[in-house]
Amino acid sequence: MHPPVALVGNLGTDDEVRYLAALSAAMPEECVRPFRALTETERATVEVAVVANPDPAEVARLPRLAWIHSLWAGVERLVRDLGAGAPPIVRLVDPELARTMAEAVLAWTYYLQRDMPAYRRQQEAALWRPRAYRAPADTTVGLLGLGALGTAAAHRLVEAGFRVAAWSRSAPSATARAALPPIVTCAGPDALPDLLARSDIVVCLLPLTAETRGLLDARRLAAMKPGGALVNLARGPIVVTEDLLAALDAGHLAHAVLDVFEAEPLPAGSPLWRHPDVTVLPHVAAPTNPVTAAAVVAGNLRAYRATGRIPASVDTARGY
């Protein structure tokens, strides 16, 4: 009998019930229990914790913890909260999450390509005015980030007929390049301004790290094509909000679709709520699916039980 698997985090009652049910169904050979339901004796035997926004103090009370499996793809908060001495952290790499994010990228790209913000303003003014059609083939989408999510999004955009260019902080490996559709790729800080300048719509899918925090500031927003649009589905602090508002107010950028923010929920007093050129979303682009996430966790845990090898884990120096 294996030691119990601890579910540690602040999920809320309903979500905790769903995740416990999904994890138990995906790996019936394991005993998955919430941290609070474990005795101190049981906590002393736990080797693997499945976590979602966990309290670091609870993680610290698992002295034999060998590794941690996150239920989220983004792990910057987990890396920050647990600190340098934490056990290896395995992030969620779920094909369903990538599919859902690619779906959101395509949806909001269409929203901008088909001038939906302008039609919304015309409706408010009771103005009947058809706008000139711009085809996907005449629209360049610049993707920031070429991980699993960016690669899936690139495929969906290419299939829909958009011109796609993508930027990453470092050049993708040969394996990663082989998984990409035929798109223009570039890497490194010197290549970013050119990609921003050529893109009608910039979609941010970058992880939040020390290097990406504040990446889209006044200087880089000014490098974007006049009349361009921004979609941020990654992390709020990558975009400097005050600089984005200034670029919108100056008319340099036409619109911003924001799903993520520095503070969430977005405070009621934020000017983003009422800005006519901003679409605010409540962090809904790619929610984790408990069933498919549990299947990924189960596969990684079975491999660990069979081999003793911890799955590929986060490079805490890079932050992902």
Paired residues of 90 in beta bridges: 69
| Annotated active-site residue in 114, 198, 283, 302 | 283
The 8-class DSSP code of residue 45 comes to T
| Annotated active-site residue in 235, 255, 302, 305 | 235
Strands 67-70 and 48-52: parallel
Residue type, 35: F
Distance CA 108, CA 5 (A): 39
Say which residues have a Cβ less than 8 Å from residue 77's Cβ, sequence separation at least 6.
53
Token pair in block for residue 5? 């698997």
Question: Is the Cβ–Cβ distance between 311 and 50 less than 8 Å?
Answer: no
Say which residues have a Cβ less than 8 Å from residue 85's Cβ, sequence separation at least 6.
none
Residue type, 1: M
Question: Is the Cβ–Cβ distance between 209 and 189 less than 8 Å?
Answer: no
Residue 235 annotated to the active site? yes
Distance CA 220, CA 223 (A): 5
Cis peptide preceding 130, ω within 30 of 0: no
Residue 33 annotated to the active site? no
- CB-neighbour burial class of residue 137 (10 A; exposed 0-12, middle 13-18, buried 19+): exposed
Q: What's the distance, CA 307 to chain centroid? A: 30
Distance CA 167, CA 165 (A): 7
Catalytic residues: 235, 283
